[in-house]
Amino acid sequence: MADRSTRERLPNRRPSESFDFEHGGIIYRAEYSRYPDGRVAEIFVNGEKVDSATDIAMRDCAIILSFALQHGATIDQILPALTRGHDERPLGPMGKLLEQIQEMERTGA
């Protein structure tokens, strides 16, 4: 694990996975890449309506999330900290995104 005070750099060229997901009636496009050891390293997200408040908020959240990942945090650490409902499911789109990435990583999809 990286020293949390310094950013762990990514290779200039790296494969990525992309997929669409829906939350609250909005379709998002997500893309993520990994470090050579397989850890998720960065995430990009766009909403269906470019430059809308939702699109901008999700892009900004993805930047902050990527920053945290590159400073040593993991999805397993971040996901439980996000807002959840009484049924323990994430309420926000970023929680849904992270759950979907976890599922894709678990199943190899």
Average of per-residue pLDDT across 6-34: 90
pLDDT at 11 over 60: yes
Tens-place pLDDT, residues 44-98: 999 999 999 999 999 999 999 999 999 999 999 999 999 999 999 999 999 999 9
Q: What is the pLDDT of residue 3?
A: 56
pLDDT at 32 over 60: yes
CB-neighbour burial class of residue 77 (10 A; exposed 0-12, middle 13-18, buried 19+): exposed
Closest by alpha carbon to 25, among 51, 49, 1, 61? Answer: 49
Centre a 10 Å sphere on the Cβ of residue 84 and count the other Cβ atoms it contains. 14
pLDDT at 101 over 90: yes
Cross-sheet strand order for the sheet of 16-23: 16-23, 26-34, 40-47
Inter-axis angle of helices 53-70 and 93-107, nearest 10 = 50
Distance CA 71, CA 6 (A): 6
Confidence of residue 4 (pLDDT cuts 50, 70, 90): low
Distance CA 83, CA 85 (A): 7
